[in-house]
Amino acid sequence: MHTPRNWHASAEAVLLPVMALAAALLLFGVFCWFGGQSPTEVWGLLFRGAFGDAFSWQNTLQRAAPLMLTALAVALPAQAGLTVIGGEGALALGALGCAALPYVIPVPGGVIGSAMVLASGALLAALWVAIAGVLRQWRRVNETISSLLLSYIAIALFKHCVEGPMRDPSSLNKPSTRPLDEALRIGAIAPDSFLGDVHWGLVIGIAACVLFGVWLSFTSQGFSLRVVGGNARTARLVGLATDRLVVLACALGGACAGLAGAIEVAAVQTSANASVIAGMGYTGILVSFVARHNPWAIPPVAILFGGFAAAGSLLQRRLGLPDASVLVLQGFAFVCILGAEALRGRLFPLLTTRPAFTVIKPAAGNKAIA
Amino acid sequence: MMNSDAWITLLFAIVGGAVRVGTPFLFVSLGECLTEKSGRINLGLEGVLVLAAMAGFAGSYLTGVWWLGVLLAGFSGALLALLHGALCSLPRVSDIATGIALMLLGTGLAFYLGKPLIQPQAAQIPSIPLGAWSSSQLVQSALSINALFPLGVALAALMHWGFANTRPGLVVRMAGDSSDAARALGYSVNGVRIAATTAGGFIAGIGGASLSLYYPGSWNEGLSSGQGLIAVALVIFARWRPWRCLGAALLFGGAGAIGPSLQSVGISGGYYLFSAVPYALTLVILVVTSSARGSLRGAPAELGVSR
């Protein structure tokens, strides 16, 4: 049952982001050219640093794993019609919750212990982001602003705990919490294969994306959530528990970002410290928007942007570009992706079987977010 | 554990800090106020602030003239805001999402272009010694204020008067309250909004210059963390009235000055917690001023913030 209209919509769903990313790369090339660099060299290095050899692939996949989870932190609330962008703070709280659990209770070693510290981080972040959902449903506080404010507060709490009450006295130059016990850490998937240091976080990230995709597409609760996102009034009319679903979406999103932070502690840093806060929450926003908030589309997009991040250090080493060059590329990509939205439904203007229609500009309040 | 001298020092530090820290808040919230009056939210002012702070520092550093830096900051802010205005005018592009994108882009561009500016010193915005009458060092330093602050106060007065009494002011308000009415009278709603957003970006950009050229007075990557975003909430708190933006900016400046002021009297514990006070205050204010049903009092009708 693929009518031409269906077919065009699916083709557009792939073509528009690809075109937008190509435009962003082009803009980035021009930007670097103004700075006296050769665009072709920049593009070449971007590709080589991201996907050129086994080592860059390992680097890319390692950076992609947390991005999948922080992107879910945006995508799940977005399915319920919310723009929640507090992933960075949720990630910090997740890291804190993970590192804090052994301070509070004795944690057994092995898989159970690892699961416990991860769950602790995810839970803390889930409760935190759920506040944004509660405030929106209870007081109509704009969730975009409140989630970002909560994020800044969470980061302040993180820094306070790491440099204050939870600081390991032996961490001199870089304030950190006490390192996680060896038995609680998450190891590499297959250390002797081409995957090298790539840790289980990647599997967790991909599994989360797949499972949440299944949940949204094939369960009645997931469907209800999408109805709420589509039209909250209809959802209320047919008797859906809108408030509960919205708060649930925020909490699940928060849990994902928190899990990203917890994994970062358990697999990479071994303790909570300032290195955990590296902008992955913000990049996750971009990943989710490029994937159009579709969990199944998140892993490939996260790998792409993980690759750009990995290539950033190569650009820095070879061409002396500032480390912020990746941020500039991300900014261009975000702007292009949003601009591409305007082309949706017009990419095949001559081929469509739909009658010609005039675009009536919707009032500002009715605009869907991406 | 603190004697009365320390309390007085602390009080003066907070009062002086309210103006010092509040000046960027004032400009950004006035810029946001103008933008929102036209019916759009610009969350990208956070990016505008960072980019303008960098551009202002660069301008002042390269020319050695502080006001050229301030002008450059304004123009760079206007440019980024213009992009916001233009993008939002496309069909199916939301102003919230565009704001997030510009937050990333502005920060990225500023960090990239500002890399060589982290070490040097630039010509600073001069202070106005309002406390010169006093012999007390304390009063003098508390009342030595940013030269841009009076400009901001004048701008608030101008906007207050302009929104009620001038044609452009009324057109902006009409675009924000009823796009149909504006269209019926032959105005281009998108045109008005792009113009208002761009002008708002210019004003916010001046606030950025105040960050890098007065207080803290240098360019670094941690210069702004959320001031641009707080401004969005400030405007809600001020109920979209320019005059009240002034009061709100001073209140938030004071809240932001608590941490550094405590440090100046030797209390450094909980520094990060005090630095989070403005965010928590914003959140509390949002909760208190929002209502469970209906839109916010005084909000432009076309604005999406009170969904």
Q: Phi first, then psi: give them for residue B113, nearest 5 degrees.
A: -75, -25
Return the amino acid letter for B293.
Answer: R
Q: Cα–Cα distance between B145 and B142 in angstroms, integer?
A: 8
* A150-194 tens-digit pLDDT: 999 999 999 999 998 999 998 888 999 999 999 999 989 888 888
Instruction: Inspect the interface and report whether the beta carbons of A369 and B97 lie closer than 8 Å.
Output: yes
Instruction: Find out whether B98 and B81 touch, Cβ atoms under 8 Å.
Output: no
Cis peptide leading into B216, omega within 30 of 0? yes
Whether the pLDDT of residue B26 is over 50: the answer is yes
Q: What is the mean pLDDT of residues A243-251?
A: 96
Separation in Å, CA A239 to CA A136, A140, A225, A227, B53: 19, 20, 12, 11, 50
**Residue A29 binned pLDDT confidence (cut-offs 50, 70, 90):** very high
Q: What is the band of B80 on the pLDDT scale with cuts at 50, 70, 90?
A: very high
The pLDDT score that the predictor gives to residue A159 is: 94
pLDDT attached to residue A3: 60
Tell me what percent of the residues of chain B surpass a pLDDT of 90: 55
Q: How many helices (H) and strands (E) does chain A have?
A: 13, 0
User: Any idea what the CATH number is for the domain that residue B227 is in?
Assistant: 1.10.3470
Q: B112, B189, B193, B234: which to substitute to probe chain A, counting the most A Cβ within 10 Å?
A: B112
- Minimal Cα–Cα distance from B201 to chain A, Å? 17
Query: CA-CA distance, A160 to A154, in Å (whole number)?
Result: 10
Going A250 to A97 to A269 to A267, the CA torsion angle's sign is: negative
- pLDDT confidence band for B280 (50 / 70 / 90): very high
Judge whether residue A325 has pLDDT over 60. Answer: yes
Q: How many domains does chain B have?
A: 1
Residue for token pair 């996102």:
A229
Kindly list the residues from chain B whose CB atom is less than 8 angstroms away from the CB atom of residue A36.
none
B187: Cβ contacts below 8 Å, ≥ 6 apart: B171, B174, B175
Strands (DSSP E) found in chain A? none
In this prediction, residues A230-259 reach a mean pLDDT of: 94
Q: H or E element: which one contains B129?
A: strand B127-129
Rounded Cα gap, residues A157 and A93, in angstroms: 8
Region B260-272: mean pLDDT is 79
Name the A residues in 79-108 with CB < 8 Å from any B CB: 83, 85
Is residue A39 a contact partner of residue A33, using CB atoms and an 8 Å limit? yes
Q: Does residue B30 form part of some domain?
A: yes
Q: What is the pLDDT of residue B294?
A: 55
Tell which of B79, B262, B290, B291 to mutate to test the A interface (max A CBs under 10 Å): B290
- Position A367 scores a pLDDT of 43
The whole-number average pLDDT for the span A328-334 is 95
Backbone angles phi, psi at A304, to 5 degrees: -60, -50
pLDDT band at B167 (very low <50, low <70, confident <90, very high): very high
Tens of pLDDT along B82-102? 999 999 999 888 888 899 999
**CB–CB of B112 and A146 under 8 A?**
no
Tell me if chain B has a CB within 8 Å of the CB of A233.
no
Shortest alpha-carbon distance between residue B134 and chain A (Å): 38
Average pLDDT over residues B58-75: 95
Residue A345 has pLDDT above 90, yes or no: no
CB B40 within 8 A of CB A364: yes
Gap between the Cα atoms of B28 and B206, Å rounded: 8
Q: Compute the nearest-CA separation of B273 from chain A (Å).
A: 6
Q: Which domain holds residue B73?
A: 4-120+152-306
Would you say B14 and B254 are in contact if contact means Cβ atoms under 8 Å apart? yes
Of B92, B105, B111, which is closest to A335 when you measure between CB atoms? B105
Task: Please provide residue B95's backbone torsions phi and psi, each rounded to the nearest 5 degrees.
Answer: -70, -30
Q: What is the mean pLDDT of residues B126-141?
A: 81
Q: What is the per-residue pLDDT for A349?
A: 64
**Residue in A84, A153, A308 to test binding to B, most B beta-carbons within 10 Å:** A153
At A323, the pLDDT band (50, 70, 90 cuts) reads confident
From the number of C-beta atoms within 10 Å of its C-beta (0-12, 13-18, 19+), residue A287 rates as: buried
On whether the CB atoms of residues A262 and A117 are closer than 8 A, the answer is: yes
Residue A309 banded pLDDT, cuts 50, 70, 90:
very high
Confidence of residue B1 (pLDDT cuts 50, 70, 90): low
How far apart CA A150 and CA A89 sit, in angstroms, is 7
- Dist CA B152 CA B147 (whole Å): 9
Inter-CA distances, A97 with A105, A120, A207, Å: 12, 5, 22
A183-209: burial string, b at 16+ Cβ within 10 Å, e else? ebbbebbeeeeebbebbbbbebbbebb
Interface check A282 vs B, CB under 8 A: yes
Partner-chain contact A145 B94, CB within 8 Å: no
Do residues B226 and A149 touch, judged by C-beta distance below 8 A?
A: yes
pLDDT at residue B296 above 80? no
How far apart are the C-alpha atoms of B216 and A223, rounded to whole Å? 50
Q: What pLDDT shows up at residue B236?
A: 83
Least CB-CB distance to B101: which of A164, A328, A335? A335
Question: What region does A305 belong to: left with phi over 0, alpha with psi -120 to 50, or beta?
Answer: alpha
Residue B253 and residue B23 in contact, taking contact as beta carbons nearer than 8 Å: yes
CA dist B278 and B257 (Å) reads: 9
pLDDT above 70: residue A46: yes
pLDDT of res. A329: 95
- The pLDDT-based confidence of A369 (bands split at 50, 70, 90) is very low
| Euclidean distance between CA atoms B125 and B212, whole angstroms | 9
The DSSP-derived string for A324-350 is THHHHHHHHHHHHHHHHHTTTTTSSTT
Q: Is the pLDDT of residue A353 over 60?
A: no
Cα pseudo-dihedral A226, A230, A233, A235, rounded to 10: -20
Nearest to A54 by CA among A197, A170, A172: A197
In terms of DSSP H, where are the helices of A219-324?
220-230, 232-237, 242-263, 280-290, 298-319
The answer to whether residue B305 scores a pLDDT higher than 70 is no
| Selection from A315, A286, A284, A293 nearest residue A63 by Cα | A284
Count of pairs with CB atoms under 8 A, one residue in A, one in B: 166
Q: Does A278 touch chain B (CB under 8 A)?
A: no
| 3-class SS of residue A160 | helix
Instruction: Kindly write down the DSSP assignment for every residue of B182-201, as one continuous string.
Output: HHHTT--HHHHHHHHHHHHH
Confirm or reject contact between A28 and chain B (CB < 8 A).
no
Q: How far apart (Å, rounded) are the C-alpha atoms in residues A96 and A178?
A: 11
The overall average pLDDT reported for chain A is 90
Instruction: Answer whether B48's CB lies under 8 Å from B102's CB.
Output: yes
The band of B262, judged by pLDDT with boundaries at 50, 70 and 90, is confident
Q: Which of B198, B99, B226 is nearest to A151 (CA)?
A: B226
- Exposed/middle/buried for residue B256 (C-beta within 10 Å: 0-12, 13-18, 19+): buried
Asked if pLDDT for residue B48 goes beyond 90, the answer is yes
Estimate to the nearest angstrom the gap between the alpha carbon of A111 and the chain centroid: 25
**Residue B29, min C-alpha distance to chain A (Å):** 15
Q: How far is A312 from chain B (nearest CA, A)?
A: 12
Cα dihedral A128/A133/A136/A138 (nearest 10): -90
Nearest residue to B182 via CA among B296, B305, B86, B302: B302
For residue range A194-228, list pLDDT tens digits in order: 888 899 999 999 999 999 999 999 999 999 999 99
In a domain, B143, yes or no: no
- Rounded distance, CA A159 to CA B270, Å? 10
Q: Tell me the pLDDT band of B304, cut-offs 50, 70 and 90.
A: low
The answer for A 147-186 residues in CB contact with B (under 8 A) is 148-150, 152-153, 156-157, 159-160, 163-164
Residue type, A25: L
pLDDT, tens digit (0-9, with 9 covering 90-100), for A94-129: 999 999 999 999 999 889 999 999 999 999 999 999
B50 has a pLDDT exceeding 80: yes
